[in-house]
Amino acid sequence: MASSPSSQTTKQKGGEKPIPVHENVMQKHAAFFDKNQDGVIYPWETFQGLREIGNGIVSSIGLSMFINLGLSQTTRPGKFPSLLFPIEIKNIQFGKHGSDTGVYDNEGRFVPSKFEGIFSKHAHTHPNALTYDELMEMMQANRDPKDFKGRIGGLVEWKILYKVAKDKNDLLQKETIRGVYDGSLFEMLKKEHSTQQKK
């Protein structure tokens, strides 16, 4: 996608790269899992992506089925269900679930104020990082009691992120969370996991 004007991005802090707020960054988040870059993500591609970022084999099998079963039909509006459970990246915003942070709006765009709100509301120990307990507090605060699907989806997503991306002090850093929203974190985790395997 074309880069956006500076007025259309979040503010840079330190070395952080600004995220365009007028683009569907949710598509960038999902694109990592589109291994052949055809705009469609199949369960085996989700599995491959999960393995590349450091997830275990059994966990990746279960999660790939969970993710594709949950998102396939919602991202293929008006189409007949497919037993291959493809996810169409161009419609990924339709897969946005409830009980979330609101950092993605309904068109898949990045909402800076919602992102900053994660830390102003829940980062009690460190201003730019979340502990596991703070992460659980955030999920609890975002829960809609009637939204069982969204609550489960959010819990799975954040627990995976914490497992594969927490730092040596068991903290989920702000820059790390920012990276998961635009997908850049996945490439970084892939490189780190590949390096560790070669040692």
> What does the pLDDT look like over 129-156, one tens digit per residue?
999 999 999 999 999 888 888 889 889 9
Six-digit token pair at 186?
């996945």
For the chain, the average pLDDT equals 88
Residue 14 covered by a domain: no
Q: For residues 120 and 97, which has the higher predicted lDDT (pLDDT)?
A: 120
Domain that holds residue 44: 21-198
Residue 37 covered by a domain: yes
Residue 43 covered by a domain: yes
Residue 11 pLDDT > 80, yes or no? no
Residue 1 covered by a domain: no
In Å, how far are 30, 46, 69, 87 from 83, measured between CA atoms? 20, 15, 9, 12
Six-digit token pair at 188?
């970084």
pTM of the model: 0.82
pLDDT band at 16 (very low <50, low <70, confident <90, very high): low
Tokens 């991202």, located at residue? 75
Residue 33 pLDDT > 80, yes or no? yes
Residue 2 covered by a domain: no
Q: How many domains does the chain have?
A: 1
Residue 9 covered by a domain: no
Residue 54 covered by a domain: yes
Residue 65 covered by a domain: yes
Residue 124 pLDDT > 70, yes or no? yes
> So what's the pLDDT on residue 14?
45
> So what's the pLDDT on residue 199?
66
pLDDT band at 8 (very low <50, low <70, confident <90, very high): very low
